[in-house]
Amino acid sequence: MSISTFYHSMTDFVATTPAVWAWVLLCGVAAVVAFRNSMPKTPNVPLVGFDVKDPKKRKAQYSFDAPGIVQKGYEQFKDRIFGVDTADGVKLVFPHQYVEEISKEPGLSFHNSLDHDLLIDYTYMGGLKQFSLSTFKKEIIPNLPKFIPEFTELIQGHIPGALGDNEDWTPVNLYPKMLRMLGILTARVMIDNQAPHNDPWITLTTEYVQSGTSYAHQLKFWPAFMRPLVHRFLPEYSKIQRQLSDGRSILMEAIKNFNKRENQGSPEPRPTSVLYHMSRKAAGASWSIIDMHLKGQMNLAVGGIHTTSSVLTQTLFELSSHPEYVPELRQEVVDTLSKFDGVLSKVALWDMHKLDSFIREAHRLNSPNLTTLQRRATRDVTLSDGTFIPKGTKLEFPTFAIHRDTDFCEDATNFDGFRFLKKRHEDEETSAKHHYVSARKDMLGWGYGKTACPGRFLADIEIKLIVAFILLNYDIKNPEGQGRHKSVHFENQVFPNPSEPVLIRKIPRERTDNFKTGKI
């Protein structure tokens, strides 16, 4: 049913039932008043983009030109708080000097901010709950090295089919292929050792974020008090429900297999997955428990698949735009394999400082989010300098602009693949702060403080394994005359261009034999 059909059917209904119409009108007015009274009052700060008077046009402008609006605000009010109008309401953009205090303030919630912006009750996407987060940190992160052999096999099995074996230059759209590759690897960590071969699950987790984001965007055209009434009639609703239903079925089957092996006394394949540990802690197969697991999986998919595939693709775009780095990076992979007996273990991956620097620089200039350290005030907050943040206020930091600011990074707007390698060598004692997985105040792509992304350690392994495999087996460059592919922006999100190809060719066997490395 379309929105117009829904509207006309409701009009016919209330026209024939005056008493009902009066009651609905009364409830609607009361809801509007309550909704307006509950809205947070915007603090007295400069507002950027408010020269566009129509609120709908202003929000639409932010949706499609957020980088321009935030950069304009940053240039005008770099050391001050300013506001931007978004589909989620006015958000306050805080200057860099507040990073430490904001990251530690318990009254400002990262998870609540994501839940609110992504409409978790409708989309199942939002901030990871403590249950899922603690499981990932405690059970998965310490065991990440144990996943590497399986990751290696999955990469060997998938990348050749995705990139082909043509020894002539061939155009390839990288982003969709890297998205699926990350869906396959993440399925092993999140579900079990069979999930990487479960096409319906891979399709669900790689496509669901787009469906959920579109659904949330449609819902935001409606006031919050109307969403429970209209959400079933929106175009994406049926698709979302089918996807969630498929997801529940797959998770139920996986949990049944866990239980069956446990009852038979059979050992669970190691390393064990997020779902395995969560299902042991929250036993049962009721709808509510399966639904809880599904929400956890969808939220893990946002970071584990979509964020990582974005950084991976942006890294490959930088490689195709700067082919002068290929020989040194390739040689580092060759030398590392020789040093570690042909195996890219966790220690071996850690030893590839040039590749680590290259990926960190690609992430610096192409963070998947325009802003980070998003927070929502769960109560009134007064900062140490007297800045008052009313309950319900949303705030964030302009990561896109900070990463391009020469006050924080020399020659900040230009790509330097070995920038962080040089920083490591400048001061060996503090070299760790320049590692790719390091979350710092001047590098906010991973967030900062206690809410810094825990999945960065998994992403580090996945990206390095894939890029190393590509370096050993393929040449890559841009089409003649083509510069670096521009990213696609929508609201706060930054995507690699999904439709612009790079040129790929398979390295002939005689050249790969000369590497004398074996295969990863």
The yes-or-no verdict on residue 129 having pLDDT over 90 is no
Mean pLDDT over each residue of the chain, to the nearest integer: 88
pLDDT at 350 over 80: yes
Model pLDDT, residue 509: 73
pLDDT-wise least confident of 17-21, 243-247, 332-336, 515-519: 17-21
Homologous superfamily of 124-367+403-515: Cytochrome P450 (1.10.630.10)
Better pLDDT: 343 or 38:
343
pLDDT at 285: 61
For the chain, the structural domain boundaries read 4-38, 124-367+403-515
Predicted confidence band of residue 303 (pLDDT cuts 50, 70, 90): confident
pLDDT reading at 435 higher than 90: yes
| Separation CA 121–CA 240 (nearest Å) | 12
**6 band by pLDDT with thresholds 50, 70 and 90:** very low
The annotation status of 453 as a binding-site residue, yes or no, is yes
| pLDDT the model gives residue 413 | 95
Residue 517 CB neighbour total at 10 angstroms: 16
What is the number of other CB atoms lying within 10 angstroms of the CB of residue 279? 21
Q: What distance lies between CA 465 and its chain's CA centroid? A: 19
Structure-block tokens of residue 344: 């890219």
Q: Is the pLDDT of residue 371 over 60?
A: yes
pLDDT of residue 30: 47
Position 512 confidence tier, pLDDT thresholds 50, 70, 90: low
Tokens 């430490």, residue?
100
Is residue 3 over pLDDT 50?
no
Amino acid at 298: M
pLDDT at residue 224 above 60? yes
The whole-number pLDDT of residue 510 equals: 61
Question: Residue 443 pairs with which residues in a beta bridge?
Answer: 440
Mean pLDDT of 435-451: 92
Name the strand (E) or helix (H) holding 426: helix 419-426
Give counts: helices (H), strands (E), the chain: 22, 13
pLDDT band at 5 (very low <50, low <70, confident <90, very high): very low
- Residue from 408, 394, 490, 371 nearest 70 by CA: 371
| Residue 42, pLDDT score | 60
pLDDT at 2 over 50: no
- For 137-173, what is the HEC assignment? HHHHHHHHHHHHHHHHHHHHHHHHHHHCCCCCCEEEC
Residue pLDDT, tens place only, 73-90: 999 999 999 999 999 999
pLDDT of residue 76: 95
Percent of the chain with pLDDT over 70: 89
Q: Is 413 exposed, middle or buried (0-12, 13-18, 19+ CB in 10 A)?
A: exposed
Burial profile 309-334: b = 16 or more Cβ within 10 angstroms, e = fewer: bbbbbbbbbbbbbbeebbeebbebbb
pLDDT surpasses 70 at 228: yes
Residue 520 has pLDDT above 50, yes or no: no
Q: For residue 61, what is the enclosing H or E element?
A: helix 55-76
pLDDT at 311 over 50: yes
Whether the model pTM is above 0.85: yes
Q: What pLDDT score was predicted for residue 203? A: 95
Q: Confidence band (pLDDT; 50, 70, 90) for 40? A: low
Which three-class secondary structure string do you get for 229-280? HHHHHCCCHHHHHHHHHHHHHHHHHHHHHHHHHHHHCCCCCCCCCHHHHHHH
pLDDT at 304: 86
pLDDT of residue 21: 39
Q: Which of 183-187, 392-396, 451-455 has the lowest mean pLDDT?
A: 451-455
How many C-beta neighbours within 10 Å does residue 18 have?
Answer: 9
13 has pLDDT over 50:
no
pLDDT at 450: 87
List pLDDT tens digits, range 251-294: 999 999 999 998 999 888 889 999 999 988 876 667 678 888 89
Distance CA 268, CA 143 (A): 15
**pLDDT surpassing 90 at residue 485:** yes
Q: In terms of Cα–Cα distance, which of 429, 295, 456 is closest to 363?
A: 456
